[in-house]
Amino acid sequence: MADTGPEARPRPHSRPLRFPSGFLWGAATSAYQVEGAADEGGRTPSIWDTFSRTPGKVLGGDTGDVAVDHLHRLHEDVALMARLGVTAYRFSVSWPRVQPTGRGPAVQQGLDVYRRLVDDLLDHGIRPLLTLYHWDLPQELEDAGGWPRRDTARWFADYAGIVAEALGDRVDLWTTLNEPWCSAFLGYASGVHAPGRTEPVAALRAAHHLNLAHGLGAQALRAALPARGQVMISLNPSAVRARTRSPQDLDAQRQVDALSTRIFTGPLLHGAYPADLLADTASLTDWSFVRDHDLAVIKHPLDALGINYYAPTVVSAATDNAPPRQDGHGAAERSPWVGADRVAFHQPPGSRTEMGWSVDASGLYDLLTRFHREAPGLPLYVTENGAAYDDRPNAEGDVHDPDRIAYLHAHLAAAHRALQDGADLRGYFLWSFLDNFEWAYGYSKRFGAVYVDFATQRRTPKSSAHWYARVARTNEVPEP
Ligand code: FCB
């Protein structure tokens, strides 16, 4: 039926937002969150298997043992992606599936899984973006010391080389690490993520060894990949806002910016840890775990930078009656913000997603333009962006998620604005293709564009999936 109501008519000046040709319209997942098949094909436990099987660590005792059974449904899931018109798929390889001991020989069966996935994607004209590490460290390597141990960086590079040898002929977009901030500080300081340790200095060591792993891993990728292979890292830089312009609040902002973002971009882009970060943490460590030449290795030139963005962070200097600390990733008793004891975190007013994260697309604009200024000429990708809502099928079995459409719309408009202001943004990956295992929240948070009935594994594209399909098909974001 033709809709001729006044609200259906285009507004006088509304024009769709056109994206550059060749822009990638992607969707993202990660191995532990979707694959399942936890004990198959010689796969050994990762730190997330151990953590989620430990009572009290994950809401409802949920684990990724079955997840959304993606590994057994690769073919139908890729076909669904193709129907939804996504032009790129970001997935991660499960380290313990391809190299069960974390440092021994590779298992062919594990590599074949990803070869089949990639071939299927390419057959459907979908460009693969491969993440090497999305938090599932082989448990054996954690038992040997985990990321606070320097050797883990070297083992990661060996693993990177193995995967590049196996898939480098057919995958040209590679990201080494996903959100090393979470691996280091949620894994080793607040302990709300695997391996659940609460050792502030270990978290700083982990952050450095993750940086080193990126550098050594990037070298291993270059050695194995053909010239067209592009190497990036996916960070979750914070868009940090100070609650007031007082010197104390601005200093809180500076501290959190150093701990969340510059601890990675300092060495990656500029070859040095920021002096203020070293000063802020001086009572904890002298950073002597940073050895000669590490910084030169970490500053390995990137082909692109991946940015994951969900919500801004609002801080102030702590007062005695400051509200409880929040980090947005779980109920932490210990702070992930090592050395920033006098910082308070605040929920800004306005709408929030089901995670309690505030909806504010200006943070994405700020980050894209910041890195455009800080690393001129470096191509950028939004490797994750999306929102959890309490989606439910209606009586007809359809899932309408207008809040997610509004969220995506606002963030794509922000991305478009950054493009107009010069940022070399090459693609956008919606988190997530499917509802999945949301870490410490288990299956209680739905981020998918495709609804998954966790009991039957039935997939139902939500309205947002159809909306996004149209964006991908037309290369335009419509007016709301
Ligand atoms: C990011 C993670 C991703 C997903 C989203 C919601 O921090 O990289 O796996 O959990 O948050």
For the chain, domain boundaries: 6-238+301-309+350-477
Name the burial class of residue 245, with classes exposed (0-12), middle (13-18) and buried (19+) by CB atoms within 10 angstroms of its CB: exposed
Distance from Cα 90 to the centre of ligand 1, integer Å = 13
Q: Best mutation site among 233, 260, 384 for ligand 1, i.e. most ligand atoms within 8 A of its Cβ? A: 384
Candidate list 35, 140, 142, 384, residue with the active-site label: 384
Cα 104 to middle of ligand 1, angstroms: 29
Could you tell which of 308, 329, 353 is best to mutate to test the pocket of ligand 1, judged by most ligand atoms within 8 Å of the CB? 308
| φ, ψ of residue 453 in degrees (nearest 5) | -80, 110
How many Cβ atoms are within 10 Å of 466's Cβ, its own excluded?
13
Per-residue pLDDT of the chain (480 residues; tens, 9 = 90+): 333 344 444 445 578 999 999 999 999 999 999 999 999 999 999 999 999 999 999 999 999 999 999 999 999 999 999 999 999 999 999 999 999 999 999 999 999 999 999 999 999 999 999 999 999 999 999 999 999 999 999 999 999 999 999 999 999 999 999 999 999 999 999 999 999 999 999 999 999 999 999 999 999 999 999 999 999 999 999 999 999 999 999 999 999 999 999 999 999 999 999 999 999 999 999 999 999 999 999 999 999 999 999 999 999 999 866 554 555 555 567 999 999 999 999 999 899 999 999 999 999 999 999 999 999 999 999 999 999 999 999 999 999 999 999 999 999 999 999 999 999 999 999 999 999 999 999 999 999 999 999 999 999 999 999 999 999 999 999 976
Six token digits for residue 360: 């504010």
Q: Residue 381, exposed/middle/buried by CB under 10 A (0-12, 13-18, 19+)?
A: buried
Beta strands at 313-317 and 343-346: parallel, antiparallel or unpaired:
antiparallel
Alpha carbon distance 32, 44 (integer Å): 12
**Active site residue: 35, 140, 142, 179, which one?**
179
The answer to whether 76 is a known catalytic residue is no
Pocket of ligand 1 (CB under 6 A): 30, 33, 178-179, 182, 236, 308, 384, 431, 438-439, 447
Q: Give the closest residue (by CA) to ligand 1 atom 7.
A: 179
198 and 245 in contact (C-beta within 8 Å)?
no
Q: Ligand 1 centre from 430 Cα, in Å?
A: 11
Residue nearest to atom 9 of ligand 1 (CA): 30
Question: Ligand 1 pocket: which of 129, 179, 186 to mutate (most atoms <8 Å of CB)?
Answer: 179
CATH of span 6-238+301-309+350-477: 3.20.20.80
Report how far ligand 1's centroid is from the alpha carbon of 11 (Å): 36
Q: Please, which residues have CB within 8 angstroms of residue 26's CB and are 6 or more apart in sequence? A: 86, 87, 88, 89, 90, 127, 129, 427, 428, 429, 430
Catalytic residue status for 199: no
Distance CA 480, CA 4 (A): 17
Rounded-to-integer distance, Cα 268 and Cα 131, Å:
18
What's the pLDDT score for residue 262?
98
248 alpha carbon – ligand 1 mean position (Å): 31
Q: What is the pLDDT of residue 6?
A: 42
Q: Which residue has the tokens 């997935």?
A: 91
Which ranges constitute the DSSP H helices of 319-450? 362-374, 402-420
Give CA–CA dist 393/273, Å, rounded. 49
Q: Rg of the chain's alpha carbons, rounded to an integer?
A: 21
Ligand 1 centroid – CA 250 distance (Å) = 28
Please, is 345 exposed, middle or buried when counting C-beta atoms within 10 Å of its C-beta (0-12, 13-18, 19+)?
buried
Task: Name the token pair of 408.
Answer: 């995506």
User: By three-state DSSP, how is residue 361 classified?
Assistant: coil
d(CA 114, CA 93): 7
Say if strands 240-242 and 313-317 run parallel, antiparallel, or are unpaired: parallel
pLDDT value of position 10: 46
Using N-to-C axis directions, what is the helix angle for 108-123 and 74-83, rounded to 10°? Answer: 20
